[in-house]
Structure formats: C-alpha cells, structure tokens
Amino acid sequence: MDSQGFGTGAPLEFRYISGGSQNEIYEIRRGDQHCAMRIPPPTASADRDNGILREWRIIAALDGSDVAHTRAVGVCTDPTVLGRTFYLMEFVDGWSPMQLDGAWPAPFADDLEARKDLAYELVEGAARMSMFDWKARGLDDLGRPDGFHERQVDRWTAFLNRIKVRDIPGFGEASAWLRTHKPLDYIPGLMHGDYQFANVMFRHGAPARLAAIVDWEMGTIGDPKLDLAWVVHSWPEDTSSGAGSVGGYVDTTGMPSRTQLLERYVEVSGRQVDDIDYYRVLAQWKLAIILEQGYQRAGDDPKLLAFGPVILDSMRGAAELAATSDYGS
C-alpha cells in the first residue's frame, strides 16, 4: 500500500469478513483509505490467482460505467507480499440479502411498496450489464462469445460426466430440449454468471438503490440474458402473501411478479424476452450441474449437503418447463 500511495504511513487496520474454499474477503482501513480485499486462501488451487486477476479486470473495466460496481483500487500479483494474488476495491457501505436470515431490513420488512423496488433494482442491474460496452473497455479476450449456446449442453454434460456418481432425474429430458432449441437472438455481452440477490449489495434505507454487483469469479463475455434467467427462473408469478421464497433465502411477498420483472428488463435494456423459457430451462439445468459438484464433495458440511434437494428441484424444474413450454413449438 505504501508503494501505491494508499494511506501511506498510517496504521493498518483489518478484519475478516467472509470466505470459503475459493476466496476470502477482508475489510482494510488505512488513513483515508477504506477498502475490501479479495484474496484466495492458502489452500486454494493455483488457478485461483488467475481467477482473481480476471475479477480485477472486470471491476477495473466497470469504473465510470452505469453498472453498479465496487471501485477498483489496486491489484498485487507479487506472491512475496501476501502469498497470493489479491486486489483491493472500494468498501461498499451497504447491506447484502445474504445477511438477512430470511428477513428484509427496515424499511423493506414492513413497507411492501418499498420492497418492490429491491426486485426492480436487481433486474435493472442485469439490464445495464447487457448494455455495457465490453469491447470499448478492453474485455475482448475475456471469454469466447462465438458459439456460446452451441457449446453449453456438450460442455456441461462433459463436466457432469467427469464428476458423476448418480443419476439426476430430468437431466436427459432437459438436455434433449436444449439441444433442439435456441434463443431468438444472441447479443454477446458482459455476463456475471451467478447473478442473484446473493451477489449484490444495496444502499441503506429507501428507496432501494443497487450499490454494487459483487463476486465476479464466473464473469465472462457470453449471453447476458442468462443473468436475467438466474433471477427469474424460479421467481413466482403470484407474489401475494405466503407465496414463498427465491433461492430459499429471499421472501418475495409483495414483490413484482415474474412478468412485471421481465417487462422492466425490456423497458431498460430494449431487448426482447419472448425466448425467456429457453434461458429459464438452461439456468435451472446448469445450476443443478454446478451445485452437484459441491454436493458430491460435501462430506459432513451442512452448507454443501443442503444442495441435495436444490439440485433435484432445479433439474426437475428444468425438465418440467421444457415439457410444458410452447417456446419453439
């Protein structure tokens, strides 16, 4: 930090915030600098250092854009400093839905009108990502946008076959449907890869304001409309009292319906969503495969064991939607 002029000479204060097998996050204070540090733990595989650099490239490219993001502060690739590649980003003064334990903070707990804007802000964040000029911001080589949809079924089926120890009901049906259906259009763009309430932060208080999209470890140049599908694939059409939750941690009572969220996306992005069923099937199918890897290595980890029913529900949902959707018929 001295060499980069970040709070030079002042005492360093830090605290651990969260982390897992892939990355750890720390709060850093030094002089007038207030940052978050993202770094792989010592036990993470060597390729996580490349992943950290990938994340850094994305948040640095987002600076100055209207996509909600943390300001890029600095990156270090010298392993003699902390042992791993890491970066510093602006510390966001806000809250994450993952901190809620199933309850919205004030005023969103009681004010259902204010709560609606949380969902609209989430979808507008996805819409703004879809409009981000990734070529002008130097992200041309971040992914392989050509043939993105043609690769999905083969790539993720091969991944599942490498880790497979059990059959997942609905996989064959959903896979066959995806092979014979494609989106109406495909406009490559910046894609988060795991876009949902769990990976955003909001400013404190009302009205709801999206503060930052975080955790870019799956970020790439692909189809940004798949990020929209991560949001709406299990979102209820009926959000009246007792309608349930999304992802098991978000109470959707009083929030906009799935149709209303799709309408807002169209309004902000200017893109069509008539092919959203294709993306919803792909999102649920892909989610089940990704979570299966964690579930198989769960051991006695309750967080990973909890993936079990989610995987089966996701694949079942993908197969059921594929069987009942009139898209492409």
CATH of the domain at 316: 3.90.1200.10
Q: Are residues 55 and 142 in the same domain?
A: no
Q: Are residues 158 and 75 in the same domain?
A: no
- The per-residue pLDDT for 182 is 95
Q: Is residue 36 in a domain? A: yes
pLDDT for 269-287, tens place per residue?
A: 999 999 999 999 999 999 9
Q: Is residue 227 in a domain? A: yes
Q: Are residues 160 and 234 in the same domain?
A: yes
Domain closes at, from 35, 64, 91? 91
Q: Are residues 306 and 213 in the same domain?
A: yes
Give every CB contact of residue 148 below 8 A, 6+ residues apart in sequence.
186, 188, 222, 223
- The per-residue pLDDT for 161 is 94
Residue 68 is part of which domain span? 12-91
Q: Are residues 167 and 254 in the same domain?
A: yes
Task: Say whether pLDDT at 167 is over 70.
Answer: yes
- The per-residue pLDDT for 55 is 96
User: Is residue 165 within 8 Å of 200, Cβ to Cβ?
Assistant: no
pLDDT for 185-226, tens place per residue?
A: 999 999 999 999 999 999 999 999 999 999 999 999 999 999
Q: Is residue 2 in a domain? A: no
**Confidence at 250, pLDDT banded by 50, 70, 90:** confident
- The per-residue pLDDT for 303 is 83
The CA distance from 120 to 26, in Å, is 30
Cα–Cα nearest to 225, from 263, 185, 180? 185
Look up the pTM and report it.
0.92
Q: Is residue 153 in a domain? A: yes
Q: Is residue 1 in a domain? A: no
The CA distance from 311 to 289, in Å, is 7
pLDDT for 83-133, tens place per residue?
A: 999 999 999 999 998 877 768 999 999 999 999 999 999 999 999 999 999
Average the pLDDT over 305-326 and give the result: 95
CATH of the domain at 22: 3.30.200.20
Q: Are residues 194 and 308 in the same domain?
A: yes
Q: Is residue 4 in a domain? A: no
Domain closes at, from 91, 126, 150? 91
Number of domains in the chain: 2
Q: Are residues 150 and 205 in the same domain?
A: yes
- The per-residue pLDDT for 248 is 62
